[in-house]
Amino acid sequence: MQSANMLLRKIVGSSVLPFAAQHGMKKDLFPLSRTLSLSLCLKQDKSCEPSEKLDLDEWKKVMKSRLQEEVSETVSEPKELSSLAAARETLEMWRLAGRAVPEKISEDQLKTFMECPSKSAKKKYLKYLHIKELYKKNDKRKMDEKRERRLEAQDEASKTDETKKSSFVCLWTSTMDKAYNWRAAQSMIFGQPLVFDMSYEKEMSVREVTNTVRQLVLSESCNRRSVDPFHIHFCNFKDDSLYQREFIKHYREAWDKLLITVTDQCYTEIFPKDKLIYLTADSPKVMKTFDHDKIYIVGSMVDKSIKTGVSLARAKRLGLETAALPLEKYLLWSTGAKNLTLDQMMHILLTLKDTADWKKALEFVPKRKYCGFVNKPVKDLKKTLDLINTLKLGKAREEVEKKFAKNYPKKYRLKQK
Amino acid sequence: VQPPEKPLQAEEWNKLREDFQLPEIFEEVMLNSMIRCNSPIDVAKSLLTHVAKRNGDVAYNVLVKYLTLCVQQGQVSEIRDVYDIMKVRFKILEDGAYNLLIKGLSNSDQWRMALTLLEEIKKITIPSRTCYESCIKAASRHQEMKLAFELYNEMMAKGVVPTLDVLQSFFHFSRGVNGAELQKELFGILLYLRENQIYPHKTLMRSIKLWFESIPGGNWRGRLTKIKDSGQCPVCNHQLEDSNLTEEEYSNLSESLIRDVIHGTDTFRKTSPKEFEAFQTFVESRLPFDIVIDGLNVSHIKSRKMQCENLFDAVNCLAKENARLLVLGRKHMLMNSSNWKREIMKEMQNKADFFFAENISEDDAFLLYATLRSGKHCKFVTRDFLRDHKACLSDSVRRHLFRKWQRGHQISKKKCFSSVFSQQPAFRYDCVVQTTGDTWHIPYKDVFEEKHSYQVPRKWLCIQQK
């Protein structure tokens, strides 16, 4: 779009203007005469200024003569803008100034933008839209490329025209789905329950709820695909909540056919209290083994603003047992918060349930958050740490030690020198 | 990219552009480096001419870049030209361009145009504080103090926080000017500093001093000084305001502490209702305390020593003064362990009252509650800066109250703790701008940035009327 505009301007600007002034012609030049006039123009310039002196303010003349044209075109436009149109105008200017602003913006988005309480909130929101737009564009491009490649492949396939022979019919996704659903249905009767506590809507912003639901959708699908799925419970689930609306956005009609239990009851009403364990990173207790007779609760909350102790408070209020994953026991933690996403939790719990192998289960913790596993004996651990320390220079050594000491008090503390 | 030194011909620009890896952004990159090197304006003009000739148009971002260069060099006529072009070409401008235009024009004799531009911004959005700053400075430079104050009051009403530079320009340009109205406004600024616990930097302090001394017939005299620990000014022997809160402030603070810090959104996050109730009855039955000690914090003072020994030393040292002590701790301290010896704990409990919270509860909140509940004389001991608790308070007024109270009541350096505590002892006087009518005392800082919110300046400006 923009390049087309530029081209148009190029035509209009560079060729017409010198002439337009002299001959009173405007715009009705034939495209053919463009090259001609341009070369003429250049020649004129040179002949006029033999001393090769530059007219430094020429760009102003160009701009101003352009202006006259445009002004005569835009005269009929109404002067006062509605606030919405003004906001759109501002955005357009920001885009021209090269800020992170989406090219297209819907009416709703514009309204959200105007309702942002501060300038920085506005900037943040626009950046978010901008990045979203970029992703979408990229996806679309990739899809197109893929389609092209597929068409090419089809062409070639039709040329060779070979029929494959196989004793099995190709397993289509619908067949797989049936198998998965059968398993999930079985888990609803015999499976170990896993509770997602859906009582955090008030603690979250709209975007955090959206992210939560997305993570839940991911967790549900990986549960369904596992060998021995959990029986998922969404407890404290209110009808017509933001959660529900988001779920319906994701699942559409399938929402009512999901093989999970959704209830507005609290988990304490459904299960005996002594069987419940609330999983929270703030818990002082560390989980040692996965217990197949217990019912684990995961808080459905994405917490971008570090509200510590919210889920622990829930468990405390109801007098439930709590537990945290033994992240520090098994991983040499480096950066990031200890709270994991819901789908990571799901992967970890599923793996634990199948294998009871912490190392395997904690593979699902994002790699950027830890340096390595500490399932080796402490002596080995010390060796690797010493190695790290010698690699890092002077100050860094102290820092590593400090970090280590913070994460692993007393027991594994390094000797001083 | 190195910008050329002289204006170039179109062909030469073309060549440069083609040699550049990303021809689309060549102009932007080139102008950026021109801004950085502060190249002559003619070079930039020749580039624009080249662009205009090639495209028949100059893009908005390129214009803004050029404008930046003009503003940087104070080329007023160019700024006007660019503005004229922009105004007709675009319906509205974006704030970056407005900021530049206002900054550029306010420094020239066409500064009134900056004011019209400011009006234009107001139609779209709230002007930034740099816009206001430029306009106010321009107005006061031209001795239009009334206009400057109008703008100042307007920005305050809009919730735009002024920079200290703006305040400085008020004092600077009011020097030697007579007028009751003006004096009232300037005193208003000093009171604004007081209310928001803002400490002027050295330059602003100097302007304030000179302004006072220049008031015709005022006979003011300013001297720089340091206030004694007793709170007495060595220059005028005046006793500064003491750091105690008023009754109203005190009750306001304790109420919001209970509401925002202890209960917050959910009482269970920091404690539990049952535990808090138990704590309340415990405190009420033994009131009032003189010193409340954060047991766990104090026990970590010396890492070489056993934790309970550290606490024991602190309790012993504070108990000598016949004070009623309350030590707050957690239940795990009662378990006999390598760090917590049962006998020592027993001995301490004879000298002080102890309250042990659950291991997962936050004892700091209890510390604050017990101290506030005991009354104004009560102090507390911890090395913690309590920033997280301050952050829980709902508004800045309460946060200021909290800091003031904290300064007056937190002990963190005592002889018996040797050199471990690096923070200052509890302040007896309040560290804010203050006046008695014929004296002003203004704390100021040497550096522009103050690093920590708990730190207060030690240097003062004493202004006295003879």
The average pLDDT across A351-366 equals 90
- At A29 the pLDDT is 41
Under the banding of pLDDT at 50, 70 and 90, the label for residue B409 is: confident
Q: Is B359 on the interface with A (CB under 8 A)?
A: yes
Structural domain B247-409, CATH architecture: 3-Layer(aba) Sandwich (3.40)
Report d(CA B406, CA B422) in Å as an integer. 16
Residue A302 and residue A348 share a domain: yes
Q: Is A214 on the interface with B (CB under 8 A)?
A: no
Indicate the residue of B89, B92, B96 with minimum beta-carbon distance to A63.
Answer: B89
Mean confidence (pLDDT) of chain B: 87
- At B288 the pLDDT is 86
Name the A residues in 120-149 with CB < 8 Å from any B CB: none
Q: Please indicate whether, in this complex, the C-beta atoms of B57 and A66 are within 8 angstroms of each other.
A: yes
Residue A335 and residue A226 share a domain: yes
Cα dihedral B437, B439, B445, B451 sign: negative
Q: Please indicate whether, in this complex, the C-beta atoms of B85 and A94 are within 8 angstroms of each other.
A: no
Residue A392 lies in domain:
376-416
Report d(CA A128, CA B282) in Å as an integer. 52
Residue A358 and residue A263 share a domain: yes
Residue A401 and residue A366 share a domain: no
- At B408 the pLDDT is 82
Condensed to tens digits (0 to 9), the pLDDT of residues A210-249 reads 999 999 999 999 999 998 999 999 999 999 899 999 999 9
Condensed to tens digits (0 to 9), the pLDDT of residues B233-245 reads 898 888 888 888 8
Residue A204 and residue A351 share a domain: yes
Indicate the residue of B52, B94, B125 with minimum beta-carbon distance to A97.
Answer: B94
Condensed to tens digits (0 to 9), the pLDDT of residues A274-318 reads 999 999 998 989 999 999 999 999 999 998 877 788 899 999 999
Q: Which residues of B touch A119 (CB under 8 A)?
A: 125
- At A299 the pLDDT is 93
Q: Please indicate whether, in this complex, the C-beta atoms of A62 and B56 are within 8 angstroms of each other.
A: yes
Q: Is B318 on the interface with A (CB under 8 A)?
A: no
DSSP codes joined into one string, B345-368: HHHHHHHSEEEEE-TTS-HHHHHH
- At A406 the pLDDT is 62
Q: Percentage of residues in chain B with pLDDT exceeding 90?
A: 33
- Domain-embedded: residue A173: no
- Domain-embedded: residue A109: yes
| Biggest CA-to-CA distance, chain B | 93
What is the domain partition of chain B in residue ranges?
247-409
- Residue A72: both structure tokens together: 């005569």
Alpha helix positions (H), B287-362: 295-298, 307-319, 342-351
How many domains does chain A divide into? 3
Report d(CA A91, CA B125) in Å as an integer. 12
Residue A385 and residue A350 share a domain: no
Report d(CA B14, CA B11) in Å as an integer. 5
Residue A252 and residue A215 share a domain: yes
Residue A233 and residue A202 share a domain: yes
Residue A308 and residue A276 share a domain: yes
CATH code (residue A318): 3.40.1280.30
Q: Where is B208: in which H helix or E strand?
A: helix B202-214
Q: Please indicate whether, in this complex, the C-beta atoms of A58 and B53 are within 8 angstroms of each other.
A: yes
- At B419 the pLDDT is 38
- Domain-embedded: residue A12: no
Condensed to tens digits (0 to 9), the pLDDT of residues A16-70 reads 444 444 444 444 444 443 443 444 444 444 433 434 566 777 787 777 776 666 5
Indicate the residue of B45, B55, B272 with minimum beta-carbon distance to A56.
Answer: B45
Name the A residues in 375-404 with CB < 8 Å from any B CB: none
- Domain-embedded: residue A33: no
- At B27 the pLDDT is 87
- At A416 the pLDDT is 42
Residue A398 and residue A258 share a domain: no
Say yes or no: ipTM exceeds 0.95.
Answer: no
Condensed to tens digits (0 to 9), the pLDDT of residues A143-161 reads 999 999 999 998 888 776 6
DSSP codes joined into one string, B103-150: HHHHTSTTHHHHHHHHHHHHHHSPPPHHHHHHHHHHHHHTT-HHHHHH
Q: Is A72 on the interface with B (CB under 8 A)?
A: no
User: Taking a C-beta distance cutoff of 8 angstroms, is the pair A276, A294 a contact?
Assistant: yes
For residue B118, pLDDT beyond 60: yes
CA nearest neighbour of B330 among B312, B299, B300, B355: B355
Q: Percentage of residues in chain B with pLDDT exceeding 70?
A: 95
Task: Give the mutation candidate from B9, B41, B128, B269 for the A interface (greatest A CB count, under 10 A).
Answer: B269
Under the banding of pLDDT at 50, 70 and 90, the label for residue B359 is: confident
- Domain-embedded: residue A335: yes
Q: Please indicate whether, in this complex, the C-beta atoms of A93 and B93 are within 8 angstroms of each other.
A: yes
Q: Is B265 on the interface with A (CB under 8 A)?
A: yes
Name the B residues in 196-225 with CB < 8 Å from any A CB: none
Q: Is A313 on the interface with B (CB under 8 A)?
A: yes
Instruction: Quote the Cα angle for A50-A55-A58, to 5°.
Output: 135
- At B389 the pLDDT is 87
- At A32 the pLDDT is 43
- Domain-embedded: residue A136: yes
Nearest chain A residue (CA) to B83: A60
Report d(CA B369, CA A215) in Å as an integer. 41
Report d(CA A235, CA A219) in Å as an integer. 16
- Domain-embedded: residue A391: yes
Residue A313 and residue A235 share a domain: yes
User: Taking a C-beta distance cutoff of 8 angstroms, is the pair B42, A56 a contact?
Assistant: yes
- Domain-embedded: residue A77: no
Does residue B288 have a cis bond before it (omega within 30 degrees)? yes
Instruction: Catalogue the E-assigned strands of B202-298.
Output: 220-226, 291-294
Residue A237 and residue A337 share a domain: yes
Indicate the residue of B9, B85, B359 with minimum beta-carbon distance to A54.
Answer: B9
Q: Please indicate whether, in this complex, the C-beta atoms of A97 and B64 are within 8 angstroms of each other.
A: yes
Neighbours of B214 (CB within 10 A): 15
